[in-house]
Amino acid sequence: MKPKIFAVAFLFSLQLFASHTWAQKLSFYDFRPLRDSIQTSRAITSFNISTDRDFYLLLSPAASLQSELAKLTPELKPDELFTKGNYSFDFLVDGLKVYSENLHPGAILLEDKLTKRPLDIALISNNRSGLWSINLWERFMSKSGYRLLGKQPKVLEIQIRTYIDHNGLRYGEVLNQAKLSVTRIPKTIDPQTMLPEPIAAGSGFELSKANLDQRLIIELNTKIAEQTYRKINGIVVLKKGELLLEQYYNKENRESLHDPRSVSKSITSTLTGMAIKDGYISSENQVLKEFYNLHQYAAYSEKKDSVKLVDLLSMSAAFEGNDEVDTSLGNEENMYPTADYTKFTLDLPMSATRENGKSWAYFTAGTNLVMDILDKRIPGGIEAYAQSKLFAPLGIEKFEWARTPQGKPFGGGGLKLRALDFAKYGQLYLDNGVFKGKRILEKSWVKKSLSPLQVLPADRPGFYGLLFWNKTFLVNGKNHEVYYCSGNGGNKIYIFKDLPIVVVITSSAYGTAFGHLQADEIVEKYLLPSLL
């Protein structure tokens, strides 16, 4: 489940810049808080990227993007230009080009492509997540910035031109460029302030007396404080069902309801298993035609009739839908503006090259379709059922659903819980469906959910089960297999196969290139070694 980006954030930023004149075509700005609520901006010639200030690039073009793209391809119609081109960014450090990126044609609001008004480009922001420009900066930093930038000042130059991909790539001349001196100097941190936090009473867990390597936790907390690991909000570790570590960062605390994005897809799987046990669904092998009259929807086919619940839960239904392909008809970003998510999904055509149950493709719309089926089949609806059958037995009292346009619980992610409650959910699976001595979920469903049902793409190790992922961590020369729930921004619930350990990481690094990588690194380099 991806973050949504609204135009209002952009308009607010323009108001902040409204008092400036546009003497330069491209310039760097920072934002700083004033009296805790108002922000002010100033043009800068130097910047330490390890501060907590916002860092912006201000583009004041001489002509609109549409006009510049038309110069490259006058043969294209205006509405074709924006499907094939955009701005191209080059990053130079001390005069050497170290990173280049052609901005995706879909980035930037349409009205900003049609006019030549100033465009603020948020490179670093503490309150605007998931923007294309923040992702651009993070990709530059991941590829080159962290290696090249440090305490010694370096000259960072950003050049902007246009490109179009039509019968081959074409580039315009450099339109704008700006330079400034950049450092990356973390703030000085007293190690004594980085000790593991004492665990307060009232957690709902017994406190663990297991050993914990405090040296590694101090090092981890320091890296979070100095922003080497960014936008981490909470870490909870259970060992043998007892609470060993509970820490919060970035203004979150024990009572914070955290949006884990697609972590809560796994809960959709849990509720399906419970509904099967209670007889509302006969099995995960039931097919769509048993739940919907598919002749009433677009692109009817027998292949659509035969999609099984297990196909939807294992991301292997052969719909023309893939969230990882921007041009896919069933990409979740095409679903969110619609008035009916179920209709959107059932109207999709089926892929001509895929067979149901035979190959994996990440498909949020299909996960929500399962939730719609549960809501229709369970008397009283899925929300009351989840409350009585899952949340109450786990002692989960605070939660907030993401909802469909009809106000129903959304099955694709965004169910907000406390970090401690995500840990309870992980412990339920570690203990094969039992929580504090009471069976909540059938052991057979846990086993099936964590089974290797689908092979993941080559760039991802492990396998996929019923809305659960799998991978292996290497610690001290030994492999440790882990099942996990995963959500945008690096939100995770890790459930170890051969260790009595559950780890929860909550994060708000939504839409970034580093969110998932840093969560895995925190577990592999710090948390597991500190426990083992």
**First and final C-alpha spacing in the chain:** 33
What's the pLDDT at 167? 92
**304-353: per-residue pLDDT in tens?**
999 999 999 999 999 999 999 988 999 999 999 999 999 999 999 999 99
Alpha-carbon distance 451 to 458, whole Å? 19
What's the pLDDT at 375? 98
Return the structure tokens found at 45: 């010639």
Per-position b or e across 390-405, b if 16+ CB within 10 A of its CB? bbebbebeebebbebe
Query: What is the pTM assigned to this prediction?
Result: 0.80
Three-class DSSP category at 308: strand
What's the pLDDT at 40? 61
Return the structure tokens found at 272: 């399906």
The answer to whether 396 touches 424, Cβ cutoff 8 Å, is yes
Per residue, the 3-state secondary structure of 7-53, as one string, reads HHHHHHHHHHHCCCCCCCCEEEEEEEEECCCEEEEEECCEEECCCCC
What's the pLDDT at 25? 65
Per this entry, what is the length of the chain?
532
What's the pLDDT at 327? 87
Sign for the pseudo-dihedral over CA of 272, 275, 280, 281: positive
Alpha-carbon distance 170 to 59, whole Å? 21
| Residue ranges for the chain with pLDDT beneath 50 | 2-24, 34-37
- For the chain, which domains are there? 7-183 (no CATH), 191-262+384-531 (3.40.710.10), 283-377 (1.20.58.710)
For the beta carbon of residue 36, count every other beta carbon within 10 angstroms.
5
Alpha-carbon distance 275 to 390, whole Å? 11
What's the pLDDT at 154? 97
Kindly list the distances between the CA atom of residue 33 and the CA atoms of 38, 42, 57, 219, 368, in Å, as whole numbers in the listed order: 6, 12, 18, 29, 40
Per the DSSP assignment, residues forming a β-bridge with 39 are 33
**77-117: per-residue pLDDT in tens?**
988 999 999 999 999 999 999 999 999 998 898 889 999 88
What's the pLDDT at 32? 64
Three-class DSSP category at 409: strand
Q: Which amino acid is at 114?
A: L
DSSP string, 81-131: HHHHEEEEEEEEETTEEEEEEEPPTT-S-HHHHHS---EEEEEE-SS--S-
